[in-house]
Amino acid sequence: MKFLDQAKICVRSGNGGAGSISFRREKYIAYGGPNGGDGGKGGDVWALCADDLNTLIDFRYQQHFRAGTGVHGMGRDRTGPTGTDVTILLPLGTQIFDESGEHLLVDMLEAGQKVLLAKGGNGGWGNTRFKTATNQAPRRANPGEDGEERWIWLRLKLIADAGLIGLPNAGKSTLLSAVSAAKPKTADYPFTTLRPHLGVVELGTAERFVLADLPGLIEGAAEGAGLGHKFLGHAERCAAIIHLVDGSVEKPGEAYTKIRNELIDYDEQFLQKPEIVVLNKCDALDAATIKRRQKQLAKACKKDVLTLSGVSGMGVKTLMSEVYTYVSTRRAEEKQQKNLAEKVKERKLAGLPPETEKWQP
């Protein structure tokens, strides 16, 4: 399946049906009066978050989604049927922007989350609605309201707990295949990874997290060099990023600085995001070289540097354990926030103010 993480689509809700002008005409019944029914409501366009999707490729072949039109009202006070709704299935982690692509409308973060994208027009009133004591035979009915039409941008940001970042051929795909069941393409030439890959890392029965392998960055990616840097959006949700540096290069500090600058150029939030710096491919180096290049890299990043070999497995468990500490910390924070939000909601439904220590009149 091809991977697509951005798409522009047009959604249009259905028009409401027109109201009916009708009068009761039956034998032996004089002055039957108006009996025109209302028009049916136009169909809505909904977005539904589905956890079994991981790409927006379907929107390459279909960009227009239109809901059904409400049926006109009919005599004998019959209301027209409602137009058919349209439900668009989106992968978990999809962001919906307006036509300009700058204003975020909604972030689909929970499976089953449903959002209204375009509301159908209301049906028009039939002439029965206009009957009064002074106007007992109204010859008036309302047309249905028009539906809404809008263009929106869909941007997919994969839900991963940690992300692998580095220059091309830094060993990211090899590491992912070593710690998970994922089988990304690996080769001895750059840019073998053209799209993000996900793998599940299992450290124990209940200790598991999702690791994302992102395409390699090069200097000038912000200006479009190489594969660009748009795929870095998939790392925005990560609890931590793993910065792999090829230990076989002469100046690993310079390699680290290039990628770090590209991350900051993309979004300054990476300044606050936890980063684990790793010197990779140490199986091909002697102890003295590893120590020297580890020291150079630590000087450039100003933090402790782990040594690793995705091929031999050296240092893999240590790295994954450190990643899981960040993942578990974020999960605990999210759980605490969710419990607090539910507690506040319960108190609000009960007509009570928030807790005393958090309440400000």
Query: Domain holding 142: CATH number?
Result: 2.70.210.12
pLDDT band at 174 (very low <50, low <70, confident <90, very high): confident
Contact 52, 106 (CB under 8 A): no
Residues 126 and 180 in one domain: no
Of these ranges, 50-59, 148-157, 217-226, 346-355, the one predicted with the greatest mean pLDDT is 148-157
Q: Residue 201 belongs to a domain with what CATH number?
A: 3.40.50.300
- pLDDT over threshold 50, residue 31: yes
Q: Which residue has the higher pLDDT, 181 or 323?
A: 323
> Helix, strand, coil shares of the chain as percentages rounded to 5?
25, 25, 50
Q: Please give the Cα distance from 274 to 204 (Å, whole number).
A: 23
Reported pTM: 0.74
Q: Would you state the pLDDT for residue 220?
A: 62
Average pLDDT over residues 14-38: 90
Residues 5 and 83 in one domain: yes
- pLDDT over threshold 80, residue 17: yes
- Domain final residue pick, 156, 188, 220: 156
Q: Which residue has the higher pLDDT, 205 or 326?
A: 326
Q: Which segment of 66-70, 137-141, 195-199 scores lowest on mean pLDDT?
A: 195-199
- pLDDT over threshold 50, residue 48: yes
Q: How many CB atoms lie within 10 A of CB 185?
A: 10
- pLDDT over threshold 50, residue 361: no
Residues 4 and 111 in one domain: yes
- pLDDT over threshold 80, residue 79: yes
Average pLDDT over residues 73-101: 92
pLDDT band at 167 (very low <50, low <70, confident <90, very high): confident
Strands across the sheet containing 197-202: 197-202, 208-213, 162-166, 240-246, 275-280, 305-307
In this structure, which long-range contacts are made by residues 184-191, counting pairs with CB atoms below 8 Å and at least 24 apart in sequence? 184/213, 190/216, 191/215, 191/216, 191/226, 191/227
Q: Give the helix ranges, DSSP H, for 200-315.
A: 252-266, 287-301
Q: How many CB atoms lie within 10 A of CB 115?
A: 16
Q: Would you state the pLDDT for residue 3?
A: 65
Residues 234 and 286 in one domain: yes
Report residue 232 as tokens: 């870095």
Residues 81 and 3 in one domain: yes
Q: Please give the Cα distance from 96 to 106 (Å, whole number).
A: 5
- Whether residue 134 is contained in a domain is answered as yes
Q: Would you state the pLDDT for residue 222?
A: 56
Q: Would you state the pLDDT for residue 45?
A: 96
- Whether residue 235 is contained in a domain is answered as yes
Q: Please give the Cα distance from 172 to 280 (Å, whole number).
A: 9
pLDDT band at 169 (very low <50, low <70, confident <90, very high): confident
Residues 149 and 264 in one domain: no
- Whether residue 349 is contained in a domain is answered as no
Q: How many CB atoms lie within 10 A of CB 101?
A: 13
Residues 167 and 98 in one domain: no
Q: Would you state the pLDDT for residue 127?
A: 93
Containing structural domain, residue 317: 162-328
Average pLDDT over residues 93-109: 90
- Whether residue 360 is contained in a domain is answered as no
Q: Would you state the pLDDT for residue 13?
A: 96
- pLDDT over threshold 60, residue 360: no
Q: Would you state the pLDDT for residue 358?
A: 45
Average pLDDT over residues 336-351: 82
Report residue 207 as tokens: 């200790």
- pLDDT over threshold 50, residue 356: no
Q: Which segment of 43-52, 156-165, 218-227 scores lowest on mean pLDDT?
A: 218-227
- pLDDT over threshold 50, residue 302: yes
Percentage of the chain beyond pLDDT 70 is 91
- pLDDT over threshold 50, residue 261: yes
